[in-house]
Amino acid sequence: MLGESTRSWATRTMRGMRCTLLVSLAVAALAAVGCGTVSIDTTTETDVGKVDVQDAPVEAAIGVVETTVPESTTSWAPNLPEEAVGSDGDVGETEPSGSPDAVPAESTTTGAPEATTTTGVPTTSTTLTSTTTTIPLEYHEVGHMQFAWAGDLAVYLPVTRYETVGFHESGHDGAFQLDVVGLTDWMTLASRGRGTGSRTAADIVVPPNEPIVAPVTGTVIRAGTYTLYCDHSDNFIVIEPNGRPGWELKMFHFEGLAVGVGDGVVATETFIGSSGRILPFVSQVDEFTSEPSNAHVHIEVIDTSIPDRPSSGGGC
């Protein structure tokens, strides 16, 4: 048996060895802590669970970066005319607001835009659906002023005020193209296919019950009634202007003829008729007047030395 002193020595030796081992292990642990844990990205399932191997996400292994994609929307804008894009690529004016294709630039939609209808200028606007536009009644108080030249002949208004004047094609090849003077409210009406000048006749919209006077100075060479469009009775007068033999001023669509053949008339003074005549049908100029449309007086000046082309038929 070992003595007490021997047993004590052996115990101390074993404890010393045990401490040395523990110190060595502690030093190794501290070294591991100081250097950090080495991460090994897994590429196969067999690596998972090994010492110091961390289970890295697959996205990290293949370098996938998550991005957020916003929900897609379809932005619709009107088709612009080619000339609306400048040479530098800048877009100029859009289509107008009356176009059914016009939408605010900031709006977005997920489908085809709904068509919209806007009211524009009543004489030129085109919309998807029919609309009714009221034109306010307004007379222009100008007196019996000159409103046109027919060659070198001054032609005066047969009334002291007018609503509008619509110029159109005469049915006579010798009719003068009228040069407009002083009017602030007038238009050239759409072609009637007559092959004459676009302003060789004038429809002057007049107030009701306003007397009609001579638009030129001259002599009445024809006057009376005629049948308009093979169905409607109407008054007319033809005046040969002074100093212009072979020229004729023709005036139609008035009531109460007050002069006859051979009478001399003075521009802006001689009473010709009691008022304009309301026609029993819609005239071309009525599109541009208030409702109900007032009468209009027709005036044209013709050089009879220029013959009319032969008629193609279709008379009454």
DSSP state of 11: H
DSSP state of 226: E
CA–CA distance, 14 with 18 (Å, rounded to integer)? 6
Q: How distant is the alpha carbon of residue 279 from its chain centre?
A: 34
CA–CA distance, 24 with 18 (Å, rounded to integer)? 10
Question: CB atoms < 10 A from the CB of 190, how many?
Answer: 12
The answer to whether 106 touches 77, Cβ cutoff 8 Å, is no
pLDDT at 313: 67
Residues of the chain with pLDDT under 50: 1-11, 13, 19-131
The answer to whether 148 touches 294, Cβ cutoff 8 Å, is no
Residue-wise pLDDT tens digits, 227-276: 998 999 999 999 999 999 999 999 999 999 999 999 999 999 999 999 99
SS3 content of the chain, % helix, strand, coil (to 5): 15, 25, 60
β-pairing, 264-265 vs 212-213, is unpaired
CA-based radius of gyration for the chain: 49
User: Which two structure tokens, joined as six digits, stand for 49?
Assistant: 């669970």
Block residue for tokens 């029993």: 280
pLDDT at 312: 74
CA neighbor of 273 nearest in space, from 125, 152, 148, 159: 159
Residue-wise pLDDT tens digits, 195-206: 999 999 999 999
pLDDT at 132: 58
User: Which two structure tokens, joined as six digits, stand for 96?
Assistant: 């107008």
Q: What is the dihedral of CA 143, 178, 299, 284, to 10 degrees?
A: -100
* pTM tops 0.85: no
pLDDT at 202: 98
pLDDT at 133: 74
pLDDT at 78: 30
Question: CB atoms < 10 A from the CB of 199, how many?
Answer: 24
